[in-house]
Amino acid sequence: MAKQNDTRQKNSSGFMALVADRSFYVLGVILFMIVWQIAASLRLFGADFSEAFSPLAAILALIEMIKNGELIHHALPSLRRVLLGLSLAVVVALPIGVLVGYFKRVEQLTYVVFQFMRMISPLAWMPIAIIIFGVGDVSVVFLLWLVAIWPLILNTSHGAGRVSPLWVNMAKTMGAMDMGILRKVVIPAAVPDMLTGLRLAVGVSWIILVPAEMLGVPDGLGYFILDTRDRFRYDQLMATIMAIGMIGYLLDSANRWLIHKFSWKN
């Protein structure tokens, strides 16, 4: 009985500690909303627009957008474009990253070019995207692909490059060739870094999505921000910004779960 009571007390104390720990996340959100409301009350957003920019107005507008289907109508195309750009980036970037990380000569051959290219803002490619692909989805997906490949390449090459030489030598002594070493040793060991690169790529892509969707597409969250501004629905504008933040948080949480799930370190 004493052992059972001790176990129950430990479980109870562990549960309470978990609740107390999680409550700080909720507290942070509440404090943020309070600061936001104070800023609106002090008219820091402008005397004419502070009420429309308040958290209460944004939440009410968000509920309205959910009920009338506007949020789903614009969120789904945005998610589709991001996922398509990420998928194309994964197909291109992961094989390149593995080769760059494993083969020293490939790394030397590509280092200067990759560092040069990744330092160029994807927004600088907007005019070129419009010239080549025209206005529409293809230009948006191209920009999202362009911004996503660099975190994937760099993190994958880092993971492939730090594989222990002992593992590689052991595989070679067992008769494995380069392709076998890549498939059986290097790629599995680089999976955590690949997922970290994916997490960074998702975050950057979601940030670039809003200006990218201002290239003339007929829907999407970036388009809807311009639409709400033109209609003077500033409450819906703030609600859209809230929706972008919440969806981005959910995407990042999914990536963190994948890293925790498939990391061989855990």
pLDDT by residue (tens digit) across 155-193? 999 888 887 777 777 777 776 677 777 777 887 888 888
3-state secondary structure of 69: coil
- The domain locations on the chain are 1-42, 55-262
Nearest C-alpha neighbor of 150 from the set 219, 204, 102, 188: 204
Look at residue 6 in the predicted model and tell me its pLDDT: 52
Q: At 236, is the pLDDT very low, low, confident or very high (cuts 50, 70, 90)? A: very high
In terms of residues, how long is the chain?
Answer: 266
Q: Which two tokens stand for residue 242?
A: 């809230």
The domain defined by 55-262 carries CATH number 3.30.1330.10: no
Question: Contact 50/44 with Cβ under 8 angstroms?
Answer: yes
What distance in Å separates the CA atoms of residue 235 and residue 19, rounded to the nearest whole number? 34
Q: What is the pTM of this model?
A: 0.82
* Residue 13: how many other CB atoms lie within 10 Å: 10
Q: 72-116: per-residue pLDDT in tens?
A: 999 999 999 999 999 999 999 999 999 998 888 999 999 999 999
